[in-house]
Amino acid sequence: MKIFRAIGLTLLFLLTTLSSSGAAEADLRALIAKFATAADFSETGVIVRELTATGDPAVERPLAALAEGNLYIRAADSMVFVGKEGSDSIQLFDPLSGEAAGEASADDLTQIGVNNTLRRTIRDALGTLTLGSKDPTVRIAAANTMFKTPDAANVEPLDAAIASETVASVKALLEQARGASILVSDKPDADKLAAIALIGARGDRNAVSLLTSVEANASGAVKEAATATIASINSTLAFWDAGQNIWYGISLGSVLLLAAIGLAITFGVMGVINMAHGEMVMLGAYTTFVVQQVIRTSFPGLFDWSLVIALPLAFLVAALVGLAIERGIIRFLYGRPLETLLATWGVSLILQQAVRTIFGPTNQEVGNPSWMSGSFDIGQLAITWNRLWILVFALAAFIVLLYVMKRTPWGLQMRAVTANRRMAASMGIKTPWVDALTFALGSGIAGIAGVALSQIDNVSPNLGRGYIIDSFMVVVFGGVGNLWGTLVGAFSLGIVNKFLEPYAGAVLGKIVVLVLIILFIQKRPRGLFALKGRAVEA
Amino acid sequence: MRGNFAKITKILSAGVVAAGLLASAPAKAAEDTIKVGILHSLSGTMAISETTLKDVMLMLIDEQNAKGGLLGKKLEAVVVDPASNWPLFAEKARELISKDRVAAVFGCWTSVSRKSVLPVFSELDNILFYPVQYEGEESERNVFYTGAAPNQQAIPAVDYLMSADGGSVKRWVLEGTDYVYPRTTNKILEAYLKSKGVPAEDIMVNYTPFGFSDWQTEVSAIKKFGSAGKKTAVVSTVNGDANVPFYKELGNQGIKAEDIPVMAFSVGEEELAGLDTKPLVGHLAAWNYFESVNTPENKKFIADWHKFIKNNKRTTNDPMEAHYIGFNMWVKAVQKAGTTDPDKVIDAMVGVSVPNLTGGYSTMMPNHHITKPVLIGEIQANGQFQTVSKTPGLVMGDEWSDYLPDSKDLISDWRAPLSCGNFNVKTGKCGGKGTN
């Protein structure tokens, strides 16, 4: 096995430009054909291992396809093909050469099933086979795989790969993978100690994971070194954990801010207890869904732009619904908070049921554009792109809103009407229209919050329910009528919540936060940033 | 003018609130039909799951009528909407039985809704078919449990993960929503794992609130717990709406099924429909039915369903199969008893055997639970499950778990002469109490 692999890798390094000989290819084809007769996952696994043992780089294509679930058997002649799903049929390709081999309907093909164990076997096998790839990202993936699943047999191929590696960062990863492999081999302790030092420098969870299993199986100096290294990595990781908590808190805060910022206008500035606020968020999310549906069917190329396109539309939809609610119901109820509460609660039920009737009660799929998927690392901190963009977006929405309120004539009128309605009216401001537009603005902002929240939450008729309590909490805590209060309130609640969660658990954490807010409101009934002056009493 | 408007809006707002409470009024029926009650939420938080079950019941009743009805009479569905409101479930159940005089009721999803209707069913002596997997620790004379008990879902799922095929898992995260089903199931699982020699430090239990949406801390805690050098898996009893953000966070933080698989008990085809499943390929679910099961019965069921609902993309799921089995059992028991009188039908139900959709027969046992196969499936890129393991035979639902100290001595047998749902074999008395 070891010899086969070594030979295969030598072939790989020296003869990458040459194709394998005819005889070898026939052997491979015979092996691949056996997939058609494999009865269960373990038999398929045996064939995978045989294919890997040939060490021929040509097996990468069928193995990768198998791992992806793209390897098919044609019922008619039990031939094995790599398949690519088209709109109504499956295009077939030769498993070795990759040449097109016609197409077939899904009914005539049987997919070769894979499970997690098989996928892992294939991943490890591909790790060894792709060490010599021309693409550095593939080599990085190979090095990482080999680091996670160390095998004493990997030392030699890794030595060869390190010798021929030219990119410094990839070389460092390869050396760590080699270190990991040495730790599970029967090499002398001196080599193992050097390997532990090398892996300790990596300083991440994978290193801890590897060293923990080494610690359990080793003795003497190696065990001591592993224990010491784990302790030192863990103490560094504790700092990163604190940083991670802060980031999670900021991220939760940005979600709270987005959800609450519209309410800061309708409830904070206008004083309307708007229970249908969450449904405005939901309408924004459904607008995103509709936009993505249209893009999927008509303009697939624009998918990455779907959120940008959805933003103005979501604002418009939610703002128009908000305008209708204000003109139709709320304007008759100013100054009667209890009735407003009941009426808007009713509106929220009507909107939910309307959406349920139109789109059905089940979740709708809203996809992540590619620039919002995945994560990147800063040190040991994993930051997901969607959370980062939501933070940027929340802050942008806040700044725009602040600008509108403080720097535009419309914002001035809004504030004038809230401060003293009669005086504003005598100065010639059309107060009913200012009311309507303010409410529409608050609803519209909730709509664009829906676009962002559709990326991290369910798009279902119940979407808004989850945010309404939190939104009120943020606005009341921050100080009714003060946008800055909403900002500070959202982020402080987010961070406190995320610091409590690891110790108290999510359920208790939430309860503790609620109790803290109740106590705080007892002390400062007007929230963090209370408005001063007569306006408050009105 | 203002006064008038205020009056109108007052009436309007009152009407709006009342609208939430009013259910669709049952249609006036011609005499000589057999009425079947459907008690599923069509509005509120649970509508997302329960509306489908109402639809599948209407389809089954339609099909039975097309076959000529039952005992020479047509069946008639009476649909009410308990609006995801637990006390309303009891009220609506009473209305169905006393006012509409239904012969049987198919309904409920959450355990708390079932608990809330139990007294109504025993007082008015009617039949409830409950189609959802649940925590066990219950056996009532008037209820037939067609969903899975913990030993028909949770235990085989854990067994699979412990096997070589499932990855020989040594370290366990039990992640659940904070209510009765996850808490009881996790209690059973913890006891079971410990009985298999898993040390306490290799089990992490964590609960989150209903509808939880910010999973960052939990997912990173799972990642941390999983980096102890032992193969780790997550057993998830996370409920409904909270699953989508949970899986999205798993995908974003790059937790792959090959490294830390997540085995879910409440995630079916319907839940996956709202998700991009490509980053989730390989995560697992344990059910008694998958839409992807390749049997003639299932193909026909799916085709009928698509035709009935007029949408080729609607998925089928496990609780739908449970209603399919439950309804057919009821029809057979009524034919056997020759009457729809609930008392006689309850006695006729035990031993009734009907085909399920996975290519076998399900039988109603004396404890009012049924026999089913247990399937383990892996999520595929197309939102379906691929069966990776199936129990060799049928598993009989065990209402009183053998792994809980309070219930291990209890059995249930509703046949005469025992006729007891909680018989303690140690004391020889009827009336034991389980864990809840």
**Least confident window among A181-185, A262-266, B118-122, B343-347:** A181-185
Q: Give me the residue from A363, A465, A498 closest to B273, CB to CB.
A: A363
Beta strands at B232-237 and B262-264: parallel, antiparallel or unpaired:
parallel
For the segment A349-355, the average pLDDT, to the nearest whole number, is: 94
pLDDT(A16) > 50: no
Q: Report the alpha-carbon distance of residue B322 to residue B289 in Å, rounded.
A: 9
The pLDDT value recorded for residue A14 is 46
Give tens-digit pLDDT for A207-223: 888 888 888 888 888 88
Helix, coil or strand: residue A135: coil
Mean pLDDT over the full length of chain A? 86
Q: Give me the residue from B167, B253, B259 closest to A384, CB to CB.
A: B253
Q: Is the domain of A87 the same as that of A214?
A: no
Q: How far away is chain A from the Cα of B398, in angstroms, using its nearest Cα?
A: 29
pLDDT(B8) > 80: no
The pLDDT value recorded for residue B28 is 44
**Least confident window among A13-27, B91-105, B204-218:** A13-27
Highest mean pLDDT among A49-63, A478-492, B422-436: A478-492
Q: Give me the residue from A116, A368, A461 closest to B167, CB to CB.
A: A116
The pLDDT value recorded for residue B1 is 42
Band of the pLDDT at B10, cuts 50, 70, 90?
low
Catalogue the E-assigned strands of A352-429: 375-378, 381-384
pLDDT(A8) > 80: no
Q: Is the domain of A405 the same as that of A424?
A: yes
The pLDDT value recorded for residue B192 is 95
Judge: B165–A115 Cβ closer than 8 Å, yes or no: yes
Please say whether the beta carbons of B36 and B78 come within 8 A.
Answer: yes
Give tens-digit pLDDT for A334-345: 888 899 999 999
Q: Is the domain of A312 the same as that of A191?
A: no
Q: Contacts of residue B227 in chain A, CB cutoff 8 Å?
A: 205-206, 208-209, 212
Judge: B12–A343 Cβ closer than 8 Å, yes or no: yes
- Nearest Cα neighbor of B77 from B98, B52, B93, B57 is B57
DSSP conformation class of A381: E
Q: Contacts of residue B81 in chain A, CB cutoff 8 Å?
A: none
Judge: A507–B258 Cβ closer than 8 Å, yes or no: no
- Nearest Cα neighbor of A56 from A90, A12, A13 is A12
Q: Report the alpha-carbon distance of residue B236 to residue B231 in Å, rounded.
A: 17
pLDDT(B258) > 90: no
Q: Contacts of residue B220 in chain A, CB cutoff 8 Å?
A: 244, 248, 382
Q: Contacts of residue A349 in chain B, CB cutoff 8 Å?
A: 16, 19-20, 43
Q: How far away is chain B from the Cα of A145, in angstroms, using its nearest Cα?
A: 11
For the segment A251-274, the average pLDDT, to the nearest whole number, is: 90
Q: Contacts of residue A339 in chain B, CB cutoff 8 Å?
A: 9-10, 13
The pLDDT value recorded for residue B46 is 84
Q: Tell me if chain B has a CB within 8 Å of the CB of A90.
A: no
For the segment B87-93, the average pLDDT, to the nearest whole number, is: 95
The pLDDT value recorded for residue A474 is 93
The pLDDT value recorded for residue A285 is 96
- Nearest Cα neighbor of B281 from B382, B389, B416, B199 is B382
For the segment A276-299, the average pLDDT, to the nearest whole number, is: 94
Per-residue tokens: A347 = 């509106």
For the segment A190-210, the average pLDDT, to the nearest whole number, is: 85
- Written as one letter, the residue type at B233 is A
Band of the pLDDT at B405, cuts 50, 70, 90?
confident
The pLDDT value recorded for residue B252 is 84
Q: Is the domain of A125 the same as that of A141?
A: no
- Nearest Cα neighbor of A271 from A92, A538, A2, A67 is A538
**Least confident window among A224-233, B344-353, B371-380:** A224-233
Q: How far away is chain B from the Cα of A6, in angstroms, using its nearest Cα?
A: 27
Judge: A352–B43 Cβ closer than 8 Å, yes or no: yes
Best of B213, B230, B290 to disrupt the A interface (most A CBs within 10 Å) is B213
Identify the domain containing residue A268 by its residue range. Answer: 240-536
Enumerate long-range contacts of B222-227, CB under 8 Å, 24 or more apart: B222/B173, B222/B175, B222/B255, B222/B260, B223/A205, B223/B253, B223/B255, B223/B260, B224/A205, B225/B171, B225/B173, B226/A209, B226/B171, B226/B173, B226/B259, B226/B260, B227/A205, B227/A206, B227/A208, B227/A209, B227/A212
Judge: A342–B5 Cβ closer than 8 Å, yes or no: no
Q: What is the dihedral of CA B252, B258, B259, B265, to 10 degrees?
A: 80
Q: How many A/B residue pairs have CB atoms within 8 Å?
A: 191
What's the count of helices (H) and strands (E) in chain A, helices before strands?
Answer: 20, 7
pLDDT(B16) > 50: no
Q: Is the domain of A142 the same as that of A109?
A: no
Q: Is the domain of A335 the same as that of A455?
A: yes
For the segment A453-467, the average pLDDT, to the nearest whole number, is: 88
Domain extents for chain B? 151-287
The pLDDT value recorded for residue A95 is 84
pLDDT(A260) > 80: yes
CATH class of the domain whose range is B151-287: alpha beta
For the segment A347-357, the average pLDDT, to the nearest whole number, is: 93
Tell me whether residue A228 is in a domain.
Answer: no
Q: Give me the residue from B208, B253, B261 closest to A375, CB to CB.
A: B253
Please say whether the beta carbons of A418 and A334 come within 8 A.
Answer: no
Q: How far away is chain B from the Cα of A315, in angstroms, using its nearest Cα?
A: 23
Mean pLDDT over the full length of chain B? 88
Burial of A278 (0-12, 13-18, 19+ CB in 10 A): buried
Point out which residues pair with B379 in neighbouring strands: B385
The pLDDT value recorded for residue A7 is 55
pLDDT(B31) > 70: no
Q: Report the alpha-carbon distance of residue B206 to residue B216 in Å, rounded.
A: 14
Q: Is the domain of A101 the same as that of A163?
A: no
Geometric angle at alpha carbon A335, from A332 and A338, rounded to 5°: 90
For the segment A377-385, the average pLDDT, to the nearest whole number, is: 85
Q: Give me the residue from B42, B221, B276 closest to A367, CB to CB.
A: B276
Neighbour tally for B424: CB within 10 Å: 17
pTM above 0.80, yes or no: yes
Neighbour tally for A27: CB within 10 Å: 16
Q: Tell me if chain B has a CB within 8 Å of the CB of A63.
A: no
Judge: A363–B253 Cβ closer than 8 Å, yes or no: no
pLDDT(A463) > 80: yes
Q: How far is CA A51 from CA A27, A126, A130, A153, A487, in A?
A: 10, 11, 14, 17, 59
Give me Rg for the CA atoms of chain A.
Answer: 31
Looking up tokens 């030699």 gives A156
DSSP conformation class of A81: E
Q: Is the domain of A206 the same as that of A279?
A: no
Band of the pLDDT at A5, cuts 50, 70, 90?
low
The pLDDT value recorded for residue A365 is 85
Looking up tokens 């219930």 gives B407
Q: What is the H or E stretch that residue A100 is in?
A: strand A100-104
Q: Contacts of residue B45 in chain A, CB cutoff 8 Å?
A: 462, 465
Looking at chain A, the whole-number percentage of residues with pLDDT higher than 90 is 33
Band of the pLDDT at A184, cuts 50, 70, 90?
confident
Tell me whether residue A106 is in a domain.
Answer: yes
pLDDT(B277) > 70: yes
Q: Report the alpha-carbon distance of residue A395 to residue A408 in Å, rounded.
A: 19
For the segment B192-204, the average pLDDT, to the nearest whole number, is: 94
Q: Is the domain of A298 the same as that of A421?
A: yes
For the segment A38-61, the average pLDDT, to the nearest whole number, is: 83
pLDDT(A469) > 80: yes
Burial of A160 (0-12, 13-18, 19+ CB in 10 A): middle
For the segment B138-163, the average pLDDT, to the nearest whole number, is: 94
Between B80 and A9, where is the model more confident?
A: B80
Q: How far is CA A101 from CA A21, A35, A81, A108, A199, in A?
A: 22, 18, 8, 15, 47
Q: Is the domain of A196 the same as that of A122?
A: no
Number of domains in chain A: 3
pLDDT(B20) > 80: no
Q: How far away is chain A from the Cα of B72, in angstroms, using its nearest Cα?
A: 36
Q: Give me the residue from A113, A205, A346 closest to B223, CB to CB.
A: A205
Q: Report the alpha-carbon distance of residue A281 to residue A453 in Å, rounded.
A: 8
Helices (H), B362-425: none
Q: How far away is chain A from the Cα of B276, in angstroms, using its nearest Cα?
A: 6
Q: How far is CA B432 from CA A341, B186, B400, B425, in A?
A: 48, 22, 10, 10
Q: Tell me if chain B has a CB within 8 Å of the CB of A29.
A: no
Tell me whether residue A230 is in a domain.
Answer: no
Helix, strand, coil content of chain A in percent (nearest 5): 75, 5, 20
Between A109 and A537, where is the model more confident?
A: A109
